[in-house]
Structure 1
Amino acid sequence: MDLYFMGTNAGVPSLERNVTSLALRLLDERRSFWLFDCGEGTQHQILRSPLKLSKLENVFITHLHGDHLFGLPGLISSRAYQGGDTPLTIYGPQGLKRYITTVLELSESRINYKMDIVEHDGGTVFEDESFRVEAALLDHRIPSYGYRIIEKDQPGKLDTALLKKYGISPGPLYGKLKRGESVQAPNDKTVHAAEVLGKSKKGRIVTILGDTRPCPAALELAKDADVLVHESTFLHELAGIAHTYHHSTARQAAEAAKYAGVKELFLTHFSSRYKNNEQMDRIQQEAEAIFKDTTLAVEHVLYPVDR
């Protein structure tokens, strides 16, 4: 599991940074990647990345401001030309379906894969045997959501040597034992999962927030997360402007990370006024003064999400 940022700017792109887009790469877990927001130019950023559009499985849009979704119609259209023929599901706030269908209809764009658009008002928006994704409404000028991606605990490894001793070969019985069930060995011995199953692997939690002021929902989504991705549009000297425009400062992001008990904080969504290394260093220092394990997201860098 890795994070890969393809846009870290707020509002408009700059020569240094593109507008918001973030991939959660899940190659080991499900041989795919998920995309969180899709600002203008995202498909160009993907061309410069180790990602392949054919492996895109889900898109999660935080809110309907242009810097978070203007790249979506082009990406949807291009995906088919880059080998994408598997289903694609796009999640986001109310109005997302009308936006996508209108653009595709007026541009007479045709796609040759199954696409579902799921509008939500928060709660559990996705769940399968491996992951659950929860969403909650944040505090922004328009409905903006944060997402909590929960990897479910994985069963430990089976003691194959011991199973061989019991006469149990790979097959359906392995599956039952991994699910915690007891099975009958060929010699009629009852084998309990606890005897042959190692310690389970605890799942990871990644929280990715949309644009927001500090709010309780952000803290709930981030509680005990392994990684928190939080907007950091301004330095705290501009806290008044941040509040007026429904954004957060670096200090406020760090305070959220500390209060929620996360392990690592990634800052993104920087105002285009911050261009040089000195200014970016100030953002880093402001957050680190409160929460040490802070990283300023850099585009086209892979960040592993460790267990």
Structure 2
Amino acid sequence: MNMWFLGTGAGRPFKHRNVTAIALQLPEPGCNWWLFDAGEATQHQVLRTPLKLNKLEAVFITHLHGDHFYGLPGLLSSRSFDGGVTPVQLFGPPGLKSYIDTVFALSGTQLDYELNISEIAVDEGIILNDERFTVEAGLLEHRVPCFGYRITEHDQPGKLLVHKLQELGIEAGPIYGQLKQGQTVTLPDGKVVRSEDVTGTSQRGRVVTVLGDTKPCGRALKLAADADLLVHEATFAAGMEEKAHEFGHSTTAEAAETAARAKAKRLVMTHFSGRYSNEDLSRLEEEASVKFGAVTAATDLYMTEIKR
């Protein structure tokens, strides 16, 4: 899995930094991708990456502040022009469906694919659970209802040990697939074969946490617990906690402290105030690293691999 930071700014775009949007590129074989927030001009940023709109599978909006979703209608519309015909799932706070329906109605926009919109309740937990991932949403502490998302990849069965199957006299066919999927199989002679007896060590699923705008809070810690990658806003530098909290934000030091307390493996900070240039980011990294070592301050179009 790869994560692309399409926009890393707070509030409004700047010459060196666009507003918030993050893409999670899913593993093979599908190689589809999910989008977290869609600030203004997100579709322009997508054009600067290998990502294709027709491969977009789901969109998760953290909250209804313009720098996090003003780019959504144009992006969804352009997906039709880019050959997108498969369904897209859209998740976000209450009011998101009304916004999209109104914009599309006034502009006469017609999509060539099915758009399924799910508005998240305040006490929501798991919002998506398919054969690959579980996604949990949790309410954070911001000026408007704002959610963080915890994406958990399901554990993957180990590699099928073909030589053991051959020793059991099992020829290649449907049984191989059943055992690979973790099922227990009864052979025609009555012998029971368990998946764990003919597969290697299973692969632990990865955990990625993407938090929306937030002050430090208990829900952020819960969503980020033991994450392989935590994405946390760091609107202000350390020492500016009072100003950050006034607007429902966090500082670099607070993002690092959340990562440390949650025992995350890596932290990527984003959503930087326009007062900081890209040249300032190394200083912001340094002050966060006092509390958490594995930290990166993202720039626009920064890509990181999420390894097992």
Q: TM-score, normalised by structure 2?
A: 0.96
* 8 Å Cα contact 2:14-2:274 kept in structure 1: yes
For residues 292 and 4 of structure 1, the distance between their equivalents in structure 2, rounded to whole angstroms, comes to: 21
Match of 1:18, SS state, is coil
* 8 Å Cα contact 1:167-1:186 kept in structure 2: no
2:138 maps to what in 1?
136
In the TM superposition, residue 177 of structure 1 has moved relative to its aligned partner by 1.8
* 8 Å Cα contact 1:228-1:257 kept in structure 2: yes
Match of 2:286, SS state, is helix
2:87 maps to what in 1?
87
Q: TM-score, normalised by structure 1?
A: 0.96
2:297 maps to what in 1?
296
For residues 99 and 264 of structure 1, the distance between their equivalents in structure 2, rounded to whole angstroms, comes to: 35
In the TM superposition, residue 166 of structure 1 has moved relative to its aligned partner by 2.0
Deviations 1:101-159 (A, max 9, x none): 10111011111111111101221111111100000000000000000000010111111
Percent identity between the two aligned chains: 52
For residues 36 and 299 of structure 1, the distance between their equivalents in structure 2, rounded to whole angstroms, comes to: 14
Deviations 1:69-104 (A, max 9, x none): 000000011001011111011000000000111011
1:155 maps to what in 2?
157
1:67 maps to what in 2?
67
Give the alignment of 1:1-307 within 5 angstroms: 1-28=1-28, 30-121=30-121, 122-185=124-187, 189-277=191-279, 279-307=280-308
- Between 251-260 and 238-247, the greater mean CA deviation after superposition: 238-247
* 8 Å Cα contact 2:278-2:299 kept in structure 1: no
For residues 62 and 74 of structure 1, the distance between their equivalents in structure 2, rounded to whole angstroms, comes to: 18
Residues 163 and 276 (structure 1), Cα distance of their counterparts in 2 relative to 1, 3 Å cut: closer
Q: What is the aligned residue count?
A: 306
The unaligned stretches of length 5 or more in structure 2 are: none
For residues 241 and 174 of structure 1, the distance between their equivalents in structure 2, rounded to whole angstroms, comes to: 59
For residues 262 and 276 of structure 1, the distance between their equivalents in structure 2, rounded to whole angstroms, comes to: 25
The unaligned stretches of length 5 or more in structure 1 are: none
For residues 283 and 155 of structure 2, the distance between their equivalents in structure 1, rounded to whole angstroms, comes to: 38
Match of 1:59, SS state, is strand
In the TM superposition, residue 172 of structure 1 has moved relative to its aligned partner by 2.3
Match of 2:276, SS state, is coil
Residues 216 and 195 (structure 1), Cα distance of their counterparts in 2 relative to 1, 3 Å cut: same
Residues 67 and 31 (structure 1), Cα distance of their counterparts in 2 relative to 1, 3 Å cut: same
- Between 23-32 and 241-250, the greater mean CA deviation after superposition: 23-32
The one-letter amino acid paired with 2:162 is T
